[in-house]
Structure 1
Amino acid sequence: MEFHGVLVASPGMGHAVPVLQLGKRLLNHHRLDRVTVFLVTDDVSHSKSLIGKTLTEEDPKFVIRFIQLDVSGQDLSGSLLTKLAEMMRMALPQIRSAIMGLEPQPSVFVVDLLGTEALSVAKELGIMKKHVLVTTSAWFLALTVYMASLDKETLYKHLSSRGALFIPGCNPVKFDRVQDPSNYVRELAESQRIGAEVITADGVFVNTWHGVEPGTIRSFLDPENLGPVMRGVPVHPVGPLVRPAEPDLKHHVLDWLDLQPKESVVYVSFGSGGALTAEQTIELAYGLELTRHRFVWVVRPPAEDDPSASMFVDKTKNQKEPLDFLPYGFLDRTRDIGLVVRIWAPQEEILAHESTGGFVSHCGWNSVLESIVNGVPMIAWPLYSEQKMNAWLVSEELRIAARVNVGDGIVKKEEIIEMVKRVMDEEDGKEMRENVKELKKTAEEALKKTNIPSAYFTQN
């Protein structure tokens, strides 16, 4: 009998990449005979282009399929969390139908954290093992399940204060002051729902490893900390789940990097969904110019009201748009030291290149892990979602990043200059570089381990 596993990823490369990598690992290192990965998306062609070479790999045992959503006319207002949760809710009938059409029927089901409602579909269809993959940190998993254990009144009290939410066995999470939590009813309801559904799974995989979050990982097993909250559901650190760089990839950015000195280039990218305002884009341009450091900057058109605006736009139409939102003469003045790339660049290969010496990042978890596995220190510049938590972790706990002050609105060019020089030139930056290269070694060791018991997927 074939042992078939199904994995489902919610929209966005931050979810697709780790789900695909976990699927490959389950196929290659565990007792699965076949793996089918469903990627939920509102733009199949764009998703295919971003996944790239993965789709061309000839392996009949590893199948990628797309669940296409038509979001036209749908109410996708609110935060990124509520948008993605609603999209996954819309996809449930298609997920059910797609799984029912598989042959053989799956015995293992994995869905990422934003699609936990699909666990009920797996239960309905009689799938033996049902799991959640947390594509971000163990700390975020801890926050999610602990929030679900609190009643609404207690949670609102925390959000209304200037204090922090103290999670047993973990670092506390500080909240921005919220004068009226009722404005965030949807976000809080979705978060608590997800946390409650996580502990209905047979197990939880987390895209992290002991070298990054040892205390938080231990807290899930500790009866004095998060053990009672998890109710016996095992938590398996399976990271880092990142796409390895392609050694022979051809791209003009990589050709340019070949001409630069070792660890001399600052790479600037705010992820596939990140967007800056017009004013912030101008400040960043002047900051990069005035540092006189070499740089590669992945530029996207500004957005004024939504820092995740790039997530839901047609990125292909912007490939040849004029860069008239940049300061006048910027491209000419920086021609000898900088390279501006529209919309997309091969991030894994750029971070793996020996010329890259620093990474200005929004601190999406994929980007954090890619920076670590390539030994590149960061300038942490969070924009939305759990990125502020990630930025705190890499700057204060792991000490592999300098963190900009985003609390005062616009990050001025003077602070950008200071942060770049700190990472690239100063003793503090040398320490960050040493720390991240030590973490890289722990990542390499983690990749040699399965972190899932050998009998975990056996029939019972």
Structure 2
Amino acid sequence: MELHGALVASPGMGHAVPILELGKHLLNHHGFDRVTVFLVTDNVSRSKSLIGKVLTEEDPKFVIRFIQLDVSGQDITGLLLTKLAEMMRNALPKIRSAVMTLEPRPSVFVVDLLGTEALAVAKELEIMKKHVLVTTSAWFLALTVYMASLDKETLYKNLRSIGALLIPGCSPVKFDRVQNPSNYVRELAESQRIGAEVITADGVFVNTWHGLEPVTIRAFLDLENLGQVMRGVPVYPVGPLVRPAEPGLKHEVLDWLDLQPKESVVYVSFGSGGALTAEQMIELAYGLELTGQRFIWVVRPPAEDDPSASMFDKTKNQTEPLDFLPDGFLDRTKDIGLVVQTWAPQEEILAHKSTGGFVTHCGWNSVLESIVNGVPMIGWPLYSEQKMNALLISEELKIAVRVNVGDGIVKKEEIVEMVKRVMDEEEGKEMRKNVKELKKTSEEALKNTHIPSTYFTQN
């Protein structure tokens, strides 16, 4: 019987890239004959441009299809989690119809963490194996399933009293706005729902590896800790699922990098969804200028009230004036800096020998891409679980410094300090050493899959 997998990704490159990479792994290493990937999006042309031409080329064994959502008139207000969860809920009928058209009918179904309601669709269609891919850390999975194990009253009591959740076998997770959890009741309810649905799957894949999160992964294997919360559902680390740099890619940014000294450039990007306020953009510009450090900065228009605004931005702003930057900034920094509008080839930039540091929003994709290329980071979290990621890389892994975002605007003086700590000081040398050691563990992890070879063919 032909082994056919159907994989579904929520909107956003942070979900699409790991799903696509998992699909390639299933074809190349786990005996699949065919993989069909469904990417849910509210903008097909933008999604196609972001995933690149290589993946969208026709391949009968690896098919990518887009599920177009019309979000006009729909309530997708609130924080990013609730927006994406509602979009995936609205996509369920289209996901069901799309999977039903597949021939042969898939025997394996995988959906990411924000689309767990689609597991019920797979069950209805009698797909043999149903899985969840966690596109972020094992620590975030731990938080999600542990929250689901608590009733609402206990959860709120924990948040009000200590402002944290003490997860068995893991580092505790501290919350913002803990004085009144009812201020974000929708987000907590969605999180508890997702955690409850995760343990209805046959297995959970996580975009991590043992060398990156050994304590948390052991907690999932321990029946006295998270193993008990998972109720027997196995957890498999399958990372790092990151898109490899394309050798020989031609781009003006890479041409500029070729002219710079080794590990001398700071790369600044807040992901495909991140946005800063106008005031913060000005502080960042002045901070970069004052460092005197070579830099590449991917800029998008500012947004005043939504740090994830760029995720739903339909505009093409590569040619719009950069009048939100300080007067004269581009002229004053033209000899040491390169400002790129909207998009740059991130994987290739991080893989380049001239790149020495990465100012990142700490999206998990970006964190892993930095690690697999041995680049230390300056963590600047904006939304979702990015604060957890920033804590992990700065306090536990010691491969990053973290800006203080708690006071609102990050001032230019702090930006200068952070860049110098990573690029010039002994602390930065130690971080560089640590991240290159982690890079080695990531290479080993890719060689040694943790999914049993007969897993997908067993009834």
Aligned length: 459
Q: Counterpart in 2 of 1:335? A: 334
Structure-to-structure mapping, 1:26-41, within 5 angstroms: 26-41=26-41
Give me the whole-angstrom Cα distance separating, in 1, the residues matched to 2:277 and 2:58. Answer: 42
Give me the whole-angstrom Cα distance separating, in 2, the residues matched to 1:136 and 1:196. Answer: 18
Structure-to-structure mapping, 1:417-436, within 5 angstroms: 417-436=416-435
SS at match of 1:179: coil
Give me the whole-angstrom Cα distance separating, in 2, the residues matched to 1:174 and 1:74. Answer: 32
Please state how far the C-alpha of 1:181 moved relative to its aligned partner: 1.6
Retained in 1: the 8 A contact 2:88–2:115? yes
Q: Counterpart in 2 of 1:181? A: 181
Amino acid of the structure 2 residue aligned with 1:25: H
Q: Counterpart in 2 of 1:7? A: 7
Retained in 1: the 8 A contact 2:56–2:64? no
Give me the whole-angstrom Cα distance separating, in 2, the residues matched to 1:411 and 1:158. Answer: 30
Q: After superposition, give the CA deviation of every residue in 1:263-314 in whole Å (9 maximum; x if it has no partner).
A: 0000000000000000100000000000000000000111000000101011
Q: Counterpart in 2 of 1:264? A: 264
Structure-to-structure mapping, 1:147-226, within 5 angstroms: 147-226=147-226
Q: Counterpart in 1 of 2:396? A: 397
Give me the whole-angstrom Cα distance separating, in 1, the residues matched to 2:88 and 2:54. Answer: 23
Give me the whole-angstrom Cα distance separating, in 1, the residues matched to 2:159 and 2:95. Answer: 35
Amino acid of the structure 2 residue aligned with 1:38: F
Amino acid of the structure 2 residue aligned with 1:17: V
Q: Counterpart in 2 of 1:290? A: 290
1:133 aligned to 2:136? no
1:103 aligned to 2:92? no
SS at match of 2:419: helix
Please state how far the C-alpha of 1:179 moved relative to its aligned partner: 2.7
Retained in 2: the 8 A contact 1:162–1:175? no
Give me the whole-angstrom Cα distance separating, in 2, the residues matched to 1:216 and 1:251. Answer: 39
Retained in 1: the 8 A contact 2:168–2:226? yes
Amino acid of the structure 2 residue aligned with 1:439: L
SS at match of 2:455: coil
Q: After superposition, give the CA deviation of every residue in 1:111-147 in whole Å (9 maximum; x if it has no partner).
A: 0000000000000000000000000000000000000
Retained in 2: the 8 A contact 1:160–1:177? no
Give me the whole-angstrom Cα distance separating, in 2, the residues matched to 1:147 and 1:160. Answer: 15
Q: Counterpart in 2 of 1:361? A: 360
Retained in 1: the 8 A contact 2:163–2:178? no
Please state how far the C-alpha of 1:177 moved relative to its aligned partner: 3.4
Retained in 2: the 8 A contact 1:162–1:176? no
Give me the whole-angstrom Cα distance separating, in 1, the residues matched to 2:129 and 2:315. Answer: 37
5+ long unaligned stretches in structure 2: none
Q: Counterpart in 2 of 1:81? A: 81
Please state how far the C-alpha of 1:160 moved relative to its aligned partner: 2.1
TM-score normalised according to structure 2 size: 0.99
Retained in 2: the 8 A contact 1:161–1:177? no
Amino acid of the structure 1 residue aligned with 2:145: V
Structure-to-structure mapping, 1:225-374, within 5 angstroms: 225-316=225-316, 318-374=317-373
Q: After superposition, give the CA deviation of every residue in 1:314-361 in whole Å (9 maximum; x if it has no partner).
A: 142x11111000000000000000000001000000000000000000
Identity rate, percent:
87
SS at match of 1:396: helix
Please state how far the C-alpha of 1:394 moved relative to its aligned partner: 0.2
Give me the whole-angstrom Cα distance separating, in 1, the residues matched to 2:215 and 2:304. Answer: 39
Amino acid of the structure 2 residue aligned with 1:458: T
5+ long unaligned stretches in structure 1: none
Amino acid of the structure 2 residue aligned with 1:348: E
Q: Counterpart in 2 of 1:17? A: 17
Amino acid of the structure 1 residue aligned with 2:440: K
Retained in 1: the 8 A contact 2:274–2:382? yes
Please state how far the C-alpha of 1:409 moved relative to its aligned partner: 0.7
Q: Counterpart in 2 of 1:440? A: 439
Give me the whole-angstrom Cα distance separating, in 1, the residues matched to 2:281 and 2:160. Answer: 32
Amino acid of the structure 2 residue aligned with 1:198: V
SS at match of 2:16: helix
Give me the whole-angstrom Cα distance separating, in 1, the residues matched to 2:217 and 2:436. Answer: 22
Amino acid of the structure 1 residue aligned with 2:383: Y
Give me the whole-angstrom Cα distance separating, in 1, the residues matched to 2:56 and 2:153. Answer: 51
Retained in 2: the 8 A contact 1:287–1:414? yes
Retained in 2: the 8 A contact 1:207–1:238? yes
SS at match of 1:457: helix
Please state how far the C-alpha of 1:58 moved relative to its aligned partner: 4.7
SS at match of 1:217: helix
Amino acid of the structure 2 residue aligned with 1:83: K
Q: After superposition, give the CA deviation of every residue in 1:78-134 in whole Å (9 maximum; x if it has no partner).
A: 110000000000110000001111100000000000000000000000000000000
Retained in 1: the 8 A contact 2:48–2:56? no
Q: After superposition, give the CA deviation of every residue in 1:379-401 in whole Å (9 maximum; x if it has no partner).
A: 00000000000000000000000
Amino acid of the structure 2 residue aligned with 1:242: V
Retained in 1: the 8 A contact 2:109–2:129? yes
Give me the whole-angstrom Cα distance separating, in 2, the residues matched to 1:221 and 1:459. Answer: 21
Please state how far the C-alpha of 1:55 moved relative to its aligned partner: 3.0
Please state how far the C-alpha of 1:183 moved relative to its aligned partner: 1.8
1:449 aligned to 2:448? yes
Retained in 1: the 8 A contact 2:198–2:204? yes
Q: Counterpart in 1 of 2:60? A: 60
Please state how far the C-alpha of 1:3 moved relative to its aligned partner: 1.2
